[in-house]
Amino acid sequence: MSAPASAFGRLHAYLHQTRLLGSISSSLYYDQNTVMPAAGAPWRGEQLALLATQLHQRQSQQEYVDLLAAAEAELEPDSPPQSRRNLQLLRLELERQRCLDPDLVGRLAQAQSRGNALWQQARRSNDFPLFAPALQELLTLRRDQAAQLAAAEPIARSPWETLAQPFEPDISKARLDELFTPLKQQLPALLARAAELGGRTATGQLGGSTEAFDLAEGAQEALCAELLEGWGYDPRRCQRARSAHPFSCTVGPQDFRITTRVVPGQPFSAFLATAHEWGHSLYEQGLPRDGQHYFPWPLGEATSMGVHESQSLFWECRVARSRAFAERWLPRFQAAAGVEAWGSSQDFWRCLNPLRPGLIRVEADELSYCLHIVLRYELELELVEGGLPVADLPAEWNRRMVASLGLLPPSDSDGCLQDIHWAEGLFGYFPSYALGHLISAQLSQTLEQDLGPLETLVASGEEERLRGWLAARVWPLGRSVNGEELVRQVTGRPLGAEPFLTYLAAKVDQLAG
Amino acid sequence: MSAPASAFGRLHAYLHQTRLLGSISSSLYYDQNTVMPAAGAPWRGEQLALLATQLHQRQSQQEYVDLLAAAEAELEPDSPPQSRRNLQLLRLELERQRCLDPDLVGRLAQAQSRGNALWQQARRSNDFPLFAPALQELLTLRRDQAAQLAAAEPIARSPWETLAQPFEPDISKARLDELFTPLKQQLPALLARAAELGGRTATGQLGGSTEAFDLAEGAQEALCAELLEGWGYDPRRCQRARSAHPFSCTVGPQDFRITTRVVPGQPFSAFLATAHEWGHSLYEQGLPRDGQHYFPWPLGEATSMGVHESQSLFWECRVARSRAFAERWLPRFQAAAGVEAWGSSQDFWRCLNPLRPGLIRVEADELSYCLHIVLRYELELELVEGGLPVADLPAEWNRRMVASLGLLPPSDSDGCLQDIHWAEGLFGYFPSYALGHLISAQLSQTLEQDLGPLETLVASGEEERLRGWLAARVWPLGRSVNGEELVRQVTGRPLGAEPFLTYLAAKVDQLAG
């Protein structure tokens, strides 16, 4: 246990310990959302607050400040660029941490835990006022946090932009406007076209009625297990469970967890959520870990939440919702249902792609999903920096749902209470979901240039080649780049909405055909 | 978040934080043994080592030393005796912690985690040599620990005695000799009598063949759920799962977990283990928490592991294995089996009490259980302070099994690899199991003096009155006493083997009748 001679080596050991501490929180979070009894919540909140305070201390205390400065001083003109990048990322993060009042960090962790618990109750009983004070507290604390963080930002950013940086480095409202405007302009037309084409089908909608045949919980479980087995799930390194909201989390460098949920009346929900969360987990499992520049350094971390989401959406939408996949999996679903459900494979494919607006984001189709995100993005902008009172959120949510998707939520549980994010104070996170769609589509174009059509690869069960391509081109980049740089590096072009919109337009036509 | 004015108040806040940290370890331990994938073990080991080091630091650092001294200085002649006792217990524990090298604490935690992982593998593949180096390391580290701790002990103790103190305060080898000698002398005769009486029954043994009817996993699960429901299990505060070795653990003041396992061919194993672990959990749930002298102070902790075990054994052996309980539960077991299994309620009772020696401690009957413990106690004495080489453990184990129970383990998995304790370096723990039997029997005598015969109470389903008696007489004592003092206080007599041996002799006769 002798200390390494170089500051670099000592910093490595220090970051390793920091990772240990952070991963303990992940483990408690997983437990909290899968098995913890409800009465355990206050204590769990205190545990997480203690860990958050410790983590903040480790990331801001003088010992670390000195260590980082010493490592920076060791940099030579011919030092590896990875070392320089790692230290730059650590420096930025340190400056952010140092701006924060430790007391705020602890209070935030407790408010998150309380928010989570109250949100679960409020959602069950459709009681927004029960949750509102917790949301108000989270907003206040996050605004305080943004104000404290502003000093560390290399450029001037709005409070929302400041809060979004940890999820999407370098993101700005202006850039999101550029990317989201084509979505806002063109998705409604695509939805209208899907509705119009749907009118010509037997069920009267594009995408069959998924409610026609439900699947028993055990059958859904078996299908999920089969899917994962074919996609490289290794029970020696992975674990899965149920939770109210599906998620993926990494508990250790060799310990990956995913969760799903079974939704009555939605036979594909658990299956597609499993594909989605497994996409996240594959990315985590594929992040660069070996070599002195990676784990536990920043370069071994995910590029951004948008890139993370592009990986889950790739497996969910481009693979599991593809025509070829439907063809291959119909027999297994029919065997699981025990009846000749879902008709032809074209019909089954339509069931996997029900192109019609719905109330719930996580069950949304590919056409309306990004409109859900735009709604949330614009609402949280209003909440964080636009002066929208928390009490007005339900009405404002409903008003915008009607305007954007033509649907009025019958309850807040199906409206502004549906997502866990705000319940944990995650403002600035939602846009990454939409960016994930755009990134996935643009990466897929390049993948097809390299390997041939996705449909052909999926038809012959060559998902391992897809994994291989991602493992070679996308996963190793880690935080050597930001999300947009990753796209430019892999695809040769700046990120845009066009590949996604082109893909969707073609899919609508094929679903009708 | 302003600090309390009195040193007592500040010490309270300090201990609260210490409890938070300790309970994080418990949560990780629960996760490790119920869901964690195998490859997560090394990282989990590092996490637990980090927490153990932090815990050790908190319990020995100057801030705490000063705080405790300041609280001691605040004691007045008319201070409550509880305050004095709390500070005495903390002082003793502090002196122990201060003797320990922090490096040893960290290495021990890692060795425990490694030991656990290797033991699981070794047990599966019956490969003692795979586990032996880990056991050797644990023994070396524990011997070092005992040597360091010796300085803090108020009286001279042997290494084994020193290691046993945290489990059984004030225990000595001499006292164990006094208590165990009657067991070694009289239990073989009782076993012989059971075998003799068994020869006169239809099955040729006292206690029916439990292998005759097995129960499906789901049926066992349902029976366990029904048992717990009747015994006050509250899913808002409790959670249960499966693990290789059943255990109970407290994750927070309102968060209690128990585990069980289903053993093929042993239809009562999960059920009785559930009764047992629930007994532990009830005790934890009933420890004094309210009032300024209890949680998070030592007085709010369990008296000793022997007392803890007396509570689990009470519910398992005195209630779930009683004649009246068999009468009440036979119809439910038959319904679960779907056949008229297990004959009459007397036969069923015999099945719940198979009085014949077996290889596995946790499946052992009440007659041979303590002989299992004596074997382990004597062997760990040999390992820790008698010079027995680790490599000789399997042969020595087998030799003593033959001498004591007349059985030769066919494999080490059924022999010296069966228990988790040594795999986690828990030397000095086993005797508490036998003490639990003695304490349970002696407490039961007093309970019957107060409430009438146990059989009558169980026959009328009045388990709540049993719980009430324990809640009033036993659970509130916490660490105001040690195990033997608790017995003297509740029963009016010193602890002895006689109530247990008397109970067993009567039970053998009734089972034959």
All residues of chain A having their beta carbon less than 8 Å from the beta carbon of residue B38 are: 236
Tokens 């009782």 belong to residue: B190
- Asked whether the predicted pLDDT for residue B198 surpasses 80, the reply is no
* Contact between chains at B27 and A30 (C-beta distance less than 8 A): no
Q: Which residue of B has its CA nearest to A40?
A: B255
Strand pairing category for A238-242 and B248-252: unpaired
Q: How would you write B461-482 as a 3-class SS string?
A: CCHHHHHHHHHHHCHHHHHHCC
Burial of A478 (0-12, 13-18, 19+ CB in 10 A): buried
Q: Using a CB–CB cutoff of 8 Å, tell me whether A19 touches chain B.
A: no
Residues of chain A predicted below pLDDT 50: 1, 210
Chain mean position to CA A317: 14
Helix (H) or strand (E) holding B248: strand B248-252
Strand pairing category for A238-242 and A255-260: parallel
B443 vs A238: CA distance, rounded Å: 46
DSSP tag of A314: I
Whether omega before B133 lies within 30 degrees of 0, making that bond cis, reads no
Q: Which residue of B has its CA nearest to A22?
A: B47
Q: Using a CB–CB cutoff of 8 Å, tell me whether B238 touches chain A.
A: yes
Nearest to A183 by CA among A505, A481, A459, A491: A505
DSSP tag of B115: H
pLDDT band at B2 (very low <50, low <70, confident <90, very high): low
Asked if A341 and A332 touch (Cβ cutoff 8 Å), the reply is no
* Contact between chains at A51 and B253 (C-beta distance less than 8 A): no
The ipTM value here is: 0.89
Three-class DSSP category at B33: helix
Please calculate the CA angle A66-A70-A71 and round it to the nearest 5 degrees.
Answer: 120
- Return the structure tokens found at A5: 């001679």
B316 vs B326: CA distance, rounded Å: 12
> Which amino acid, one-letter code, is at B374?
V
| pLDDT for B291 | 87
A428 vs A421: CA distance, rounded Å: 10
Query: How many CB pairs (< 8 A) connect A and B?
Result: 105
pLDDT band at B355 (very low <50, low <70, confident <90, very high): confident
Burial of B226 (0-12, 13-18, 19+ CB in 10 A): middle
* Contact between chains at A254 and B40 (C-beta distance less than 8 A): yes
Pairwise pLDDT comparison (B59 vs B374), residue with the higher score:
B374
- Non-local (6+) Cβ contacts of A406 within 8 A are A357
B247 vs B241: CA distance, rounded Å: 10
Nearest to A33 by CA among B254, B42, B38, B31: B31
Q: Which residue of A has its CA nearest to B103?
A: A1
Q: How far is B273 from chain A (nearest CA, A)?
A: 20
- Asked whether the predicted pLDDT for residue B462 surpasses 50, the reply is yes
Mean pLDDT of chain B: 94
Q: Which residue of B has its CA nearest to A234?
A: B37
- Return the structure tokens found at B496: 């002895």
B407-428 mean pLDDT:
96
All residues of chain B having their beta carbon less than 8 Å from the beta carbon of residue A235 are: 37
Touching B: A residues 265-284, CB under 8 Å: none
Asked if A173 and A163 touch (Cβ cutoff 8 Å), the reply is no
Q: Using a CB–CB cutoff of 8 Å, tell me whether A42 touches chain B.
A: yes
- Write the DSSP assignment of A63-120 as a string of letters: HHHHHHHHHHHH--TTS-HHHHHHHHHHHHHHHHHHHS-HHHHHHHHHHHHHHHHHHH
How many angstroms separate the most distant Cα atoms in chain A? Answer: 74
Instruction: Return the percentage of chain B with pLDDT > 70, whole number.
Output: 97
- Return the structure tokens found at A383: 């909440």
A87 vs A345: CA distance, rounded Å: 53
* Contact between chains at A255 and B44 (C-beta distance less than 8 A): yes
* Contact between chains at A43 and B1 (C-beta distance less than 8 A): no
| pLDDT for A39 | 97
Please report how the helices A128-149 and A81-99 are oriented relative to each other, as an axis angle in degrees rounded to 10. 120
Strand partners, B19: none
Tokens 């009625």 belong to residue: A209
All residues of chain A having their beta carbon less than 8 Å from the beta carbon of residue B50 are: 17, 20-21, 24
Asked if A273 and A45 touch (Cβ cutoff 8 Å), the reply is no
* Contact between chains at A23 and B43 (C-beta distance less than 8 A): yes
Q: Which of B161, B168, B221, B277 is catalytic?
A: B277
Q: Spell A115-142 as b/e; 16+ CB within 10 A means b.
A: bbbbbbebbeeebbebbbebbebbbebb
Nearest to B346 by CA among B201, B193, B444, B458: B201
- Non-local (6+) Cβ contacts of B472 within 8 A are none
Asked if A94 and A68 touch (Cβ cutoff 8 Å), the reply is yes
Strand pairing category for A255-260 and A248-252: antiparallel
Helix (H) or strand (E) holding A373: helix A369-381
Helices and strands, number each (H, E), in chain B: 20, 3
Asked if A215 and A267 touch (Cβ cutoff 8 Å), the reply is yes
All residues of chain B having their beta carbon less than 8 Å from the beta carbon of residue A237 are: 37, 39-40
Tokens 């592009």 belong to residue: A310
- Return the structure tokens found at A17: 């310990």
Q: Which residue of A has its CA nearest to B35?
A: A239
Q: How far is A237 from chain B (nearest CA, A)?
A: 5
Three-class DSSP category at B37: coil
Chain mean position to CA A510: 28
| pLDDT for B245 | 85
Count of Cβ atoms closer than 10 Å to residue A513 Cβ: 7
Q: Using a CB–CB cutoff of 8 Å, tell me whether A35 touches chain B.
A: yes
B297 vs B282: CA distance, rounded Å: 19
B8-20 mean pLDDT:
97
Tokens 């418990």 belong to residue: B26
- Non-local (6+) Cβ contacts of A165 within 8 A are A153, A157, A171, A428
* Contact between chains at B40 and A241 (C-beta distance less than 8 A): no
- Asked whether the predicted pLDDT for residue B194 surpasses 70, the reply is yes
For the stretch A329-372, pLDDT in tens is: 999 999 999 888 888 999 999 999 988 899 999 888 999 999 99
Is B284 in the active site? Answer: no
Sign of CA dihedral B362, B364, B370, B376: negative
Q: Using a CB–CB cutoff of 8 Å, tell me whether A155 touches chain B.
A: no
| pLDDT for A1 | 46
pLDDT band at B406 (very low <50, low <70, confident <90, very high): very high
B311 vs B275: CA distance, rounded Å: 10
All residues of chain A having their beta carbon less than 8 Å from the beta carbon of residue B239 are: 35-37
Three-class DSSP category at B252: strand
Q: Which of A277, A284, A366, A380 is catalytic?
A: A277
A33 vs A364: CA distance, rounded Å: 23
| pLDDT for A513 | 77
A315 vs A273: CA distance, rounded Å: 10
All residues of chain B having their beta carbon less than 8 Å from the beta carbon of residue A233 are: none
For the stretch B286-309, pLDDT in tens is: 999 988 899 999 999 999 999 999
B459-466 contacts, C-beta under 8 A, 24 or more apart: B459/B324, B459/B327, B459/B328, B461/B230, B461/B328, B463/B230, B463/B231, B463/B319, B464/B232, B466/B314, B466/B319
